[in-house]
Amino acid sequence: MIPPRSVTIVGASLAGLRAAETLRREGYDGSITMIGDEPHLPYDRPPLSKQILSGEWPPERSGLTSAEALADAGIELLTSKRAIGFDLATRQLEFGDGGTLVVDGLILATGARCRRLRATDHLAGVHVLRGLDDVEGLRRELDTGPSRVVVVGAGFIGAEVAATVRTAGFEVTLVEAEATPLARVLGSEIGEVCAEIHRDHGVDLRTGVGVVSVEGSRRVESVGLSDGSRVAADILVVGIGVVPNTEWLEDSGLTIDNGVVCDQTSLAAPGVVAAGDVARWPNPRFNEVMRVEHWDNAVEQGAHAARRLLVDDSAAVAFAPVPWFWSDQYDRKIQMAGRGRPGDEMHLATGSFAERRFAVLYGRAGRLVGVVGFNRPRHVMRYKSMIEDGVSFENAVSADV
Amino acid sequence: MGGGPDKKGVPMKIVVDYDLCESNAICMQILPEVFEVRDDDFLYVLDESPAEELRPKVEECVNRCPKQAISIEG
Ligand SMILES: Cc1cc2nc3c(=O)[nH]c(=O)nc-3n(C[C@H](O)[C@H](O)[C@H](O)COP(=O)(O)OP(=O)(O)OC[C@H]3O[C@@H](n4cnc5c(N)ncnc54)[C@H](O)[C@@H]3O)c2cc1C
């Protein structure tokens, strides 16, 4: 195998950085250029909805690396530079500033961005939370007094924002279209536990209702809901999911379908790999084509994709992780591993819903496929190992953990 | 990143910043002989200076800790 003469990474965040670091750790000595459209050095997103939104951490603490560390590793970083096109045939990248670059090895790590509510762009006080600039904008408004916060979407990000802002003393209304928050991910029983946790902390949780209008002249003033009610709002935070950043690759010759489509090994085309929130690939462990929006996946797939660029097709290995995720809300640490889903066989392995400290196992076709824990990190990890080992559901249920 | 150059004879030392650690337990899954999260939800380092051949695994723990709470000295 002749390694690529150079490696270019588009997207300078978690997956891109871990890919660059892995190339060096594997002894790659060609040039590495990482290109990102944000003005910042790579930083970590999970603290944005937690410690940085709460003010517990200054924004700088989210940094994932330093200019010195990048220079020491021989990783060139170009910031505030946006890729707007790529042509697989000529291997040419095109940039928003008019520049072009012909690449050899290419790592696509452009992540995802937040969905927005239609027709709210003209209103001040409407926020999404994806980047440092978003959290700073939101914090600035929270600091200057307006106190009624409406969060749309009780998925993980929305729930974390509601928890953090409520803990800071603001009035919070959390609006969720489903009858139970997270029911489609965790099942309605566990979703109900999430709902109770919010309500116990004084969040006004409205479920089974959608947002039908957002009113205000210059600033948001209120939100109209599908049950006919209206909620006053000084700040509106929209947490209704993300979409992968692939528009710039539409005409590239790569396959784009809810992400950059890769083979099992993370390869999208010869010499082109993708990783993190933007990548979709068939995970042989679950026999499922997936795109995973989790921190650990960006780390692992970033590293995997980098190694993939350095080996022949014959030596390439499949990327077959057990996806794993955590979310911190109030004093609860929610963790999920595997691919459990409503409809699976479920078993309460430890604890109880009443004490909100438990681990639930998910079984499908006789196999342990998932685990969800509330303040049970040890159990989640033990069962995650069992999922990796292909343990049967029956054996997992009877295991002594 | 990682452990830096091997210093022959100087054992590595694992340092956990407990102000950062939130017991996600990913390290325990990677290296249960070194890291253990117990039922009290706290992380215990069972072996601060594990054998040199475990270095790659320890480095994986450093990289995969969501809180960047683990580092290696030496
Ligand atoms: C507020 C928040 C909290 C989170 N909390 C958790 C958590 O508790 N647990 C968990 O497991 N996960 C969490 N996540 C998810 C986790 O942060 C993501 O999975 C991870 O950031 C994905 O990394 P990535 O590098 O693939 O993509 P991203 O982090 O999205 O990075 C992609 C980068 O590419 C840049 N880019 C995009 N398009 C272009 C272009 N055309 N040209 C140049 N650059 C471009 C983007 O600006 C961005 O900098 C959270 C995410 C957010 C936003």
Give the predicted TM-score (pTM) of the model: 0.95
Q: Are A256 and B26 in contact (CB under 8 A)?
A: no
What confidence score (pLDDT) does residue A98 get? 97
What percent of chain B shows pLDDT beyond 90? 78
What confidence score (pLDDT) does residue A118 get? 87
CATH topology assigned to domain B5-73 = Alpha-Beta Plaits (3.30.70)
State the ipTM, two decimals.
0.83
C-alpha–C-alpha distance, residues A128 and A161, integer Å: 10
Average pLDDT over residues A67-94: 98
Smallest Cα–Cα separation from A107: which of A330, A325, A262, A283? A262
Q: Least CB-CB distance to B63: which of A299, A326, A333? A: A299
Average pLDDT over residues A376-386: 96
A335 shares contact with chain B (CB less than 8 Å): yes
Determine the atom of ligand 1 nearest the C-alpha atom of A276.
26
C-alpha–C-alpha distance, residues A389 and A386, integer Å: 5
Smallest Cα–Cα separation from A151: which of A179, A178, A174, A184? A174
Q: Using 50, 70 and 90 to split pLDDT, how confident is the model at A353?
A: very high
Q: Least CB-CB distance to A21: which of B1, B23, B28? A: B1
Between the alpha carbon of residue A132 and those of residues A25, A45, A82, A88, A129, the distances in Å are: 28, 8, 17, 32, 8
Indicate yes or no: CB of B23 within 8 angstroms of CB of A377: yes
What confidence score (pLDDT) does residue A321 get? 98
Domain boundaries, chain B: 5-73
At A260-299, the pLDDT tens digits run 999 999 999 999 999 999 999 999 999 999 999 999 999 9
Q: How far is A31 from chain B (nearest CA, A)?
A: 18
C-alpha–C-alpha distance, residues A81 and A35, integer Å: 6
Q: Which amino acid does the sequence have at A188?
A: S
Q: Percent helix, strand, coil in chain B (nearest 5)?
A: 25, 20, 55
C-alpha–C-alpha distance, residues A51 and A42, integer Å: 17
Domains of chain A (ranges; CATH) run 6-113+242-315 (3.50.50.60), 116-238 (3.50.50.60), 331-398 (3.30.390.30)
Indicate yes or no: CB of B24 within 8 angstroms of CB of A335: yes
Average pLDDT over residues A108-120: 95
